[in-house]
Structures are given as structure tokens and as C-alpha cells.
Structure 1
Amino acid sequence: MRSPLFEGFDYEHDMLAFDTDAVRECEWDQVFASDPPARLEFPLYLRRERYNRSSEIVHRHNDFLALYIVRGGRGTHIVNEQACSMARGDVFIMGEGAAHYFRNPIDLTLDAIYFQARLWSSREWEILCGLPELTSYLAPDSQNMKAPQNSDHFGHLSPEPHTRVEAVL
């Protein structure tokens, strides 16, 4: 029996639509251009994504960041050549310029929140980037991402908080 966690997607990864030999460069206007104009004016976008047994399409978010919450399934997230397994409740943050892909996803379902830095004022952004817990995620460089403890894995939601987050998203 199929869980309702694997139904109702905004985006389902289609591996046939991409060239697997090149890094796909993603710009905010390009990725979200097919959506209503308000999406281009307001720098925040939410969608539910599904990846299942798809190929490894490397892509880079050039001018936006991402927060991923794993709703279900499993796989491995590779960011700047650093691997981290993914399971229900895991939270990942990706900064601008990070190259990533999903390896061996099996019914991997993500609640994805994409945003641009302009969502906050320059002072608010300065404060966020100044927090040691967020620095390597919001402004990742090769040194931050190569440290063994630093991938894009930010943490894990236990079942109760995860259920509340799912209800909102």
C-alpha cells in the first residue's frame, strides 16, 4: 500500500529532461519563470518535490538558496562533493553557488523552500550570516564544505515537530 506521503507533488524529477554530462546552472528567473509573475517579484518559493531512481543531475543554484525538509523516502545528497544520507525529518540548507545532486533516491520526497537573500534587508542578512551555526550554510566556500562535520545537513526534526511542519507545508 502506498503512503499518502508520496502523493501530491508540485515537481517530479524527470531524468530524461536533462543532460547528465554537464552541470546545470540554475538562476532564479530561469527556474521559476513558468510560474506566476508574483513568484519572480517575491523571493520565496515553496514546492513539494519527488525523486525516484533518477540519474544524478548535477546543478548549481547561482542566485538563490534552498532549505530542504525530507518528508519521506531515502537517498544521498551530494553537495560540493560531500555526501550525506537523507531520511525522513532531515533538514538541509544550501547556500548560493553550491553544486548538488541526489544519488540513488528511492521515493525521496522533499518539501523545498527556495529563497533569495533579498528576502531580508542587508542588515538582517548580515546578522544571519554572522551566526556561527549558519555561516557555512549561507555562505559556503570550499573550506567550510570540506570539513568533515560540514555538509549541507543542518539537523533532524523528531517526529512531533516534523508532523507540525508537514501540516504547515
Structure 2
Amino acid sequence: MDKNLLQEQVLAQLQADLQQAQRAAQTAHEAATHEENVAENKYDTLGLEAAYLASGQARRVEELRQTLITWRQLRPRPFDAAQGIALGALVLLVDAQERERWLFLGPQGASMKLQQQGLEIQVLGSAAPLGRALLGKGPGDEVRLAAAGGVQSFEVLAVE
């Protein structure tokens, strides 16, 4: 699989998310500053609510900008067994029920599923519990995670 193509797909999705968030932030700002939303009394909170929404939307836009910056700086490299799994690694895991899943490990902030060569690849941030557990591991290593339903076990089958 092509990790650079996966990164391009992540960047395209993040850019689309950013554009959508910018439109939402603009709409929320317009609502917060519209003359019809000026409070007529202390119980009229429509303008205040719109301002809170606009503030939240602006924070989301900034988070997406930062995520885009970190993903643009990522340079996927071939797997180095001495270093173990690192950012930019493409990892094949198998769980206790023998279900295989591909993960593309990157900086935080871009959780999504992608398709490549007919396979589904979960994009996972290194700050996620599974992402943290995978760092430094290699093929044949076992990863265990505490989950709501008990402990989940995965074996690393391959790393690219």
C-alpha cells in the first residue's frame, strides 16, 4: 500500500472538514451579530447562545488548521525494526477473534476510515490508547488494551 497516498487522502478529508467548519463558523458569527438577535431583556438569550456557538465553531476551525499543519509535516518512512512502530506506520493487527484490521498511525486529530486497494484502513492518532500502545512495537508483538467490556488483545502481524 502507498502510505503517501493515504496521507494525501487524510489531508484532502481534513481540508474538506476545515472548509465545512469555516462555513459553519461564518454562519454562527453572522447569527451572533445579527440585529434581530440583540437581547430585548435579560431573559432573551438567543444572541448569547449564538455567540457561544460561534466561539465553539472558531475553536474547531483552529483545531483543524493545527491538525492539517501536523499532518502536512508527517513524512512516512519504511518500517525500521530497531525503532519499532512510529508515526506514519501502516500496521496490520489481528484480534482474538482472528479479525484483521489495517491502521495508519499518524499525529492526533484525524480519525477516519479510508479505502485503498479494496481494504479499509483506520486512521489513528498516536494519542489514542491503541496508538500509544503500538508505538515502539513490531511484528509478532502483542498489544493489550483495557476496554469497557474487559481487555482487548491484538497481535501485530505486519508493519509497513
Give the helix-richer structure, 1 or 2: 2
Q: Same fold (TM over 0.5)?
A: no
TM bracket (short chain): under 0.3
Larger radius of gyration: 2
TM-score when scaled to structure 2?
0.25
TM-score when scaled to structure 1?
0.24
> Which has the bigger relative contact order, CA under 8 A and spacing at least 6?
1
